[in-house]
Amino acid sequence: MTQTLTARATLPLDRAESWVEPAVSLLGAAPMAPEGFEAYSARGGYAALARCRDGDSLWAGLTGSPAFQALQGRGGAAFPTRRKVEVVREAAATGRATSVVVNGAESEPLSFKDRYLMRLRPHAILDGALLAARLVGAGRVHLYVADGQGMDALREAVQSRAAHDPASASGPAQPDIRLVAAQHSYVAGEESAAVRAIATGVARPTDKPPRPYQAGVDGDASLVLNVETLARMALCAMSGEASDAPAGGGAFLATVSGSGLAAGLYEVPLGTTLGEVRGRLGFAPEMGADVLIGGFFGGLMPFDPDLQLDYAAVRARSNGLGCGAMHFVAEDDCVLKVAADVAVFFSEYTARQCRTCISSSQTISLTLSRLGRPAQGVDTLLDDIARWGHQLPGRGACAVPDGLALLLRSLTEHYSAELESHRAVGCARCASAGWDRRWQGLSVDGEELTGRFHWTTGEPPEGGDPR
Amino acid sequence: MSVMDPGVMTTEPTRGREPVGALIDRVGQQARLELRDAVPMPAQAYWDEELYGQEIEKIFKKDWLCLARTDEVPDAGDYFAIDIADEPLIVVRGEDSQVRVFSRVCRHRYEDLLGGGTPADQRRTGCAKRFVCPYHDWAYRLDGELFAAPDMVARPGFDMSAFNLREVRSTVWQGFVFVNLSGDLAEPLDMSGIEGILGGYDFTDWEVASVIDWGTTKVNWKIVVENFSEAYHHLGLHKSSAQPIWPFASVQMGDEVGPEWFYSRLFVGADAATGEVNGHLVQPTWLTPQPGLSQYELSQGILFAKFPTFMMLPAPDITFWFRMFPTAAEYHQLEILLMVHKSSYAHPEFKEKIHEATEFFRDVQGEDASCNERIQSSTRSVFATGGVLHPQEQPLWQLQKYVSSRLAR
């Protein structure tokens, strides 16, 4: 257990470990050692690419892997990866140009796992990207990265693969690989924003349809996949090589933190219970009566030791596993203050495009941030929160309104008593929270662990008023 | 008042003119509503002669008004004449390079110093060594001192030093010349709130590069302020001009809600942006932006109004400023001045670009004027009642606070 930090400080990430077998693990036995070309090749990396020279045979092999069949996107939306690839393969079959976008624009303040992978496991990502390109016959791979060190590591990986295996890197069937610096903004990682940014430099979501698989970069059918999803896809292809290796897609990277405590990065088998996670971390029992799950995108929930960490089970609780981040709310913290922190973050980092999102995120953040003071005479608080939670989903070009709605639905589902007591008598902890960057204590800083550069969500909005 | 719900009552057509006292009271009552309940100015306030008389006395003769830029009178003797609140004034730079504002009323028998046979091209601006009254050739130095009063030796005991031009209290803020006609009775000009929102902007080194002279048109001054300060109408009137650059959806309302001034931030729309840096979209520019602005500032225009009529839209390369004053209850005169930072004169296509920008803003103004003039005539309608404000029309509610705070009995 590390020392308690001051309330507003970012949470340093100071450990990383894998809870799955090394053979099917991304972190492996030495999580802090960067994995170079030799090490990655030695464990079977790039082998499927070498063996399956065409997309169809690769597809046949991968779809034979139950892990790949079950793989869901790790960027937060948990969309079935197989389906995503299939749609772009269908577009390619009709003769359309295709491309792959490697999404390394991690912007969840509570998550560091994508930056970890890009910095220390770049070959797994590159392998996955090349596999994806072969599956859909892509002429171009865009490495879209919002992290200077991640970008350097990926560039180095591309070069080192080319140096070690010149034939495979420059053959006619090889896609053109481009590195694109992404914005450090919250919406930059949304897939339509990624596509738009690659084409125009403007990282803001666009209305859908068309989705990237319909009209992506330069009009291609674009396959946009998160870096962890791609690395897991590479593991799935690799585990086909090993005789009886368990599913490489069956784990997820979790950035786990607690209020005021240092954070850790863990590779957790899907289906692990929340109780096991807390137990392995050695968190004291009073630590984490409540959990902010899925980064800022999965809502709050009371700690339940029996909750199985998989997408469906978490969704069944009115929450979401999202990008896999989990934050245990300290006993002396207030769960509704955390909810307000998240809402204020959303209101300050919308894309500033869609009126409904801008005004509702502002209304919601103001409502939640005022819960510290009793709201006598305001009888509609619980109804308002329930109503917003159901009205907002789908009301924008991107999923920010959906994230806010999920947060509100989780409050309605789990915390109506707390809302009622705040309305009636207020809350000293909520009342003491300011406005400016109040969510700072909900952001993980992995620089100590993986390097020296600092990541920020752009500049703080100037003139951020405390209202 | 009847026993009916007042909200219902105001939706009924009204007939006839309300006494001005009752009208002012009504503006005051509206101004005290919560923003979410705010309603438009009573239509009578846009044409009532008696109200206008009070506005002149209690607003335009009492508050700080912005007349000119110091760069409009760059050299000694350069002057700029303007009439405000029935007062003919002149802004002039002296031999000591001080900028002063005087009344143009000759101390002899009240002729306008730029009246009579003053050539048309010198009535508004020009450069003079002395101001010579066209009636009897009384001449004043640039610092207002009476220099010559022909043959007044004929009047025994005539003391020239008692007949200098009347100087009007003025102050310069970042190159803008403000006057206050109530002289020493007025509080000092307070621009601290506006400076607080302007961030890296400093207009000291900006200059007027182009002027759109809109002349005098039949629109009450408050309609112009209202039209200037809300961006809700971008989605209608300006849907193909200003809306793509500054979409109404991405306007951030300022947190200043008092009776003195208003601001909002007009963030560039993603479709018009030329890129994105550090999470901030980049607003397109005609010229080079003022050096030293942050990416945040390069992503937006700031729209502000200090009541009654100081209106500006600071933007990275071209800031425009409305010089607007009422000339009668139903008339105002307007110039739109496009300002640039001095460093942007080095732009290779400066002339073309400033021309392009001028034409753009002229078109936008044409759109605004077309609506404003129709609103002015509609305000006489018995059906011009029962309106409602959008939250982004917050400045209209603030203008009501301002007007009622000044006119309240």
Give per-residue pLDDT as tens, A323-355. Answer: 999 999 988 889 999 999 999 999 989 998 888
Cα Rg for chain A, rounded, in angstroms? 22
C-alpha to C-alpha distance for A391 and A247, rounded to whole angstroms: 39
Query: Which residues 187-246 in chain A show a CB within 8 A of chain B?
Result: 188, 196-197, 200-204
Question: Averaged over B332-338, what is the pLDDT?
Answer: 98
Polymer length of chain B:
409
Longest dimension (CA), chain A: 74
| CA–CA dist A299, A322 (Å, integer) | 10
C-alpha closest to that of A194 among A332, A273, A326, A99: A99
The yes-or-no verdict on residue A409 having pLDDT over 70 is yes
* CB atoms A184 and B199 under 8 Å: no
Rounded to the nearest angstrom, the minimum Cα separation between B200 and chain A is: 12
pLDDT in the model for residue A456 = 37
Q: What is the pLDDT of residue B5?
A: 46
Who's near A223: CB < 8 A, 6+ residues apart?
A84, A85, A88, A98, A99, A100, A101, A132, A136, A138, A212, A213, A216
Using CA atoms, how far residue A384 sits from A172, A372, A388, in Å, is 59, 17, 6
Interchain CB distance below 8 Å, A463 and B273: no
Residues 6+ apart with CB under 8 A from A400: A186, A187, A346, A350, A351, A357, A361
Task: Find the closest chain B residue to A460 by CA distance.
Answer: B296
Mean of the pLDDT values across residues B161-189? 96
Q: What is the C-alpha separation between A11 and A333, in angstroms, rounded?
A: 15
**Would you call A467 an interface residue with chain B, using a CB distance cutoff of 8 Å?**
yes
Residues 183-202 of B with CB under 8 A from A: 197, 199
Task: Verify whether the Cβ–Cβ distance A459 to B199 is below 8 Å.
Answer: no
CA distance, residue B270 to nearest chain A CA (Å): 7
- The predicted structure's pLDDT at residue B409: 60
CB A130 within 8 A of CB A158: no
> How many Å apart are CA B340 and CA B314, to the nearest integer?
10
N-to-C CA span, chain A: 37
B30: enclosing H helix or E strand: helix B20-31
CA terminus-to-terminus distance, chain B: 20
Q: What is the pLDDT of residue B183?
A: 87
Task: Count Cα neighbours of A347 within 13 Å in the Cβ-side half-sphere.
Answer: 26
Where do the DSSP E strands lie in B43-192? 64-69, 78-84, 87-93, 99-103, 125-127, 131-132, 139-140, 146-148, 167-173, 176-180
> Does the CB of B270 have a partner CB in chain A at under 8 Å?
yes
Which residue of chain B comes nearest to A357, CA vs CA? B249
What does the pLDDT look like over A219-276, one tens digit per residue? 999 999 999 999 999 999 987 544 344 455 589 999 999 877 778 999 999 999 999 9
Q: Give the lowest-confidence range in A78-82, A290-294, A458-462, B62-66.
A: A458-462
Could you tell me which residues come within 8 angstroms of residue B118 by beta carbon, excluding any fewer than 6 positions away? B134
- Give bridge partners of residue A288 from the DSSP assignment: none
The alpha carbon of residue B135 is apart from the nearest alpha carbon of chain A, in Å, by 56
User: What pLDDT digit, counting tens, does each position of A141-167 carry?
Assistant: 999 999 999 999 999 999 999 999 877
Residue the block writes with tokens 């869901």: A72
How far is the C-alpha of A175 from the C-alpha of A145, rounded, in Å? 18
Min distance B249 CA to chain A CA atoms (Å):
5
Chain B within 8 Å of A183 (Cβ-Cβ)?
yes
Reported as half-sphere exposure (CB side, CA atoms, 13 A), residue A335 has a value of 26
- Chain B residue numbers with beta carbons less than 8 Å from the beta carbon of A352 are 249-250, 252, 267
Helices A400-414 and A355-369 cross at an angle (nearest 10°) of 30
The structure tokens listed for B97 are 């390079």
Q: Does A465 touch chain B (CB under 8 A)?
A: yes
A436 min Cα distance to partner chain B (Å): 14
CA distances B364 to A41, A372, B303, B306, Å, are: 63, 46, 15, 22
Average pLDDT, chain A: 88
DSSP conformational letter for B105:
B
Instruction: Check: CB of residue A360 under 8 Å from CB of residue A392.
Output: yes
Answer whether the bond into residue B244 is a cis peptide, omega within 30°: no
In the three-class reduction of DSSP (H, G, I as helix; E, B as strand; rest coil), residue B144 is classed as: coil
Report the residue of chain A nearest B232, measured CA to CA.
A355
In this complex, do B279 and A352 lie within 8 Å of one another by their Cβ atoms? no
Secondary structure, 3-state, B201-224: CCHHHEEEEEEEEEEEECCCHHHH
Tell if the CB–CB gap between A459 and B294 is shorter than 8 Å. yes
3-state secondary structure of B111: coil
List pLDDT tens digits, range A172-193: 678 999 999 999 899 999 999 9
- List chain B residues with CB under 8 Å of A355: 248-249
Per-residue pLDDT reduced to its tens digit, B2-49: 444 444 444 455 667 899 999 999 999 999 999 989 999 999 999 999
Contact present, A118 and A104 (Cβ < 8 Å):
yes
* Mean pLDDT on B313-320: 97
Nearest CA to B264 out of B339, B314, B307 is that of: B314
pTM of the predicted protein model? 0.85
- What span, in angstroms and rounded, lies between the C-alpha atoms of A81 and A71? 6
**For residue A466, is pLDDT > 70?**
no
Give A14's pLDDT tier (boundaries 50, 70, 90): confident
**DSSP states along A83-122:** HHHHHHHHHHHTT--EEEEEEE----TT--HHHHHHHH-H
Interface test with B, best of A185, A196, A198, A353 (most B CBs within 10 A): A353
Q: Which residue among B249, B275, B276 sits closest to A354, beta carbon to beta carbon? A: B249
Q: Among all residues of chain B, which has the CA nearest to that of A348?
A: B252
Outline where A349-415 has alpha helix (H).
Answer: 355-369, 381-391, 400-414
Residue B275 has its nearest CB partner, among A201, A458, A465, at A201
- For residues A238 and A241, what is the distance between their CA atoms, to the nearest angstrom? 5
Tokens of A410: 């989780």
The percentage of chain A sitting over the pLDDT mark of 90, rounded to a whole number, equals 70
Candidates B250, B256, B276, B394: best to mutate against A (most CBs of A within 10 A) is: B276
**pLDDT tens string B74-88:** 999 999 999 999 999
Give the best residue of B195, B235, B255, B281 to mutate against chain A (max A CB count within 10 A).
Answer: B281
Please tell me if residue B314 touches chain A, with a CB cutoff of 8 Å.
Answer: no
At A457 the pLDDT is 36
CB contact under 8 A, A353 and B249: yes
SS3 A64: coil
Q: What is the pLDDT of residue A165?
A: 83
Query: Which position has the token pair 């400066």?
Result: B350
Residue-wise pLDDT tens digits, A233-243 = 999 998 754 43
CB contact under 8 A, A458 and B199: no
Cα→Cα distances B390→A363, B11, B36, Å: 15, 17, 8
Interface mutation vs chain B, best among A106, A202, A465, most B CBs within 10 Å: A202
In which band, very low, low, confident or very high, does the pLDDT at A411 lie, cut at 50, 70 and 90? Answer: very high
Confidence bin at B249 (pLDDT 50/70/90): confident
From B16's Cα to the closest Cα of chain A, the distance in A is: 40
Q: CB distance from A53 to chain B under 8 Å? A: no
**For chain B, what is the largest distance between any 2 Cα atoms, rounded to a whole number of angstroms?**
77
Closest CA to A341 of A277, A414, A259, A401: A259
**Residue contact A458–B280, C-beta within 8 A:** yes
* A375 class by beta-carbon count within 10 Å (0-12 exposed, 13-18 middle, 19+ buried): middle
Cβ distance B250 to A353 less than 8 Å, yes or no, reads yes
Which are the contacts of A445, defined by CB distance < 8 A and separation ≥ 6? A10, A11, A12, A13, A112, A454, A455
Nearest CA in chain B to A356: B249
8 Å CB contact of B197 and A202: no
Looking at residue A260, its pLDDT comes to 73
Determine contact: B295 vs chain A, CB below 8 A.
yes
Residue A39: Cβ-neighbour burial (10 angstroms; 0-12, 13-18, 19+) = middle
Per the CB < 8 Å rule, is A203 touching B250?
A: no
